[in-house]
Structure 1
């Protein structure tokens, strides 16, 4: 003899509805984050052409583009004022920019910052090389950043020579990278 299935109470139905209303958006959010992670552009690799850009200078004196550095090796450092590793590497980058002046150029790209905070950062660390603001995050996206700081070494022919996806605080390491960039670009 078949026994009829027990009727689902209205209370049980309401509980399942609540679970669905909470879990549905949570599952959708996780799916969106996973999708965004895997569809974000990847960083250009050594030998790839460096992505072009143009952006306003942080000091307000016009704009700069990748083409402004054509024919010269370039160090592009992506930074933010609230980034502690960016603070740690800023003095070293300024020292190296002065040491290699004439052999290569340095460019800072400020990301995810209010203009005033970015200017205060440059003043605090007495940054001697130019920086641009990536207000729309287009430069960040074209270089496939995953965090900050990140540094790209661009050869004189406009190709990516090296990508360092973390802070550089070791002077000997940075000097080795820069010596290699200058030597390779001069060949």
Structure 2
């Protein structure tokens, strides 16, 4: 192969790599993680009004991302229902659905009647800020609004309770 061709290919490769890394740095999405102050989102709820995370200031909040079609979410639903019934007065449970209709969620609630605040993240903006990669995913936010736990996968009622009570000070 001609030395000019090799130099040209190396130059194109280097320019491409630098361009990719520069673009990645510039377009890097901001997101929160464990130990960070939780983003104060505002999302629509079942009745058509909006709910903000700051509405629960001073409370331990459990946020659960779920989907009605998700098998692990369906497995976890009775545990969330029990948690909501047993500890919902003490710890606020927020269920966030990504991309499904209110009617579909209402059908889901006929089977799994979890006492919680149901919110809709239609464009996944909030889930991106919380770095949600799937469902179910659960977050525990302390009374100061700091994310203390982030768990991927289904949880039991007692696991959720044990996470929440650690930050009830």
Q: Tell me which interval the TM-score lies in, with the shorter structure as reference length.
A: 0.7 to 0.9
Deviation at 1:41, TM superposition (A): 4.6
Find the partner of 2:46 among 58, 83, 88.
Answer: 58
Find the partner of 2:164 among 166, 175, 178.
Answer: 178
Moved over 3 A (4+): 39-43
Find the partner of 2:57 among 57, 60, 70.
Answer: 70
- TM normalised by structure 1 equals 0.70
User: Equivalent residues in 2 for 1:143-154 (5 A)?
Assistant: 143-154=130-141
Deviation at 1:47, TM superposition (A): 1.6
Deviation at 1:123, TM superposition (A): 2.1
Q: Secondary structure of 1:132's partner?
A: strand
Q: Pick closer, same or farther for the CA change 1:84–1:70 going to 2, 3 Å.
A: same
Taking only aligned residues, the RMSD between alpha carbons, in angstroms, comes to 2.2
Q: 2:128 matched to which residue of 1?
A: 141
Q: Pick closer, same or farther for the CA change 1:138–1:161 going to 2, 3 Å.
A: same
- Mind listing any 5+ residue stretches in structure 1 that lack a counterpart? 1-34
1:17-58 Cα distance to aligned partner (Å, 9 max, x none): xxxxxxxxxxxxxxxxxx99xx77586322201012111112
- Mind listing any 5+ residue stretches in structure 2 that lack a counterpart? 1-22
Deviation at 1:167, TM superposition (A): 1.4
Check the 8 A contact 2:60/2:164 in 1, yes or no.
Answer: no
Max Rg structure:
1
Q: 2:10 matched to which residue of 1?
A: none
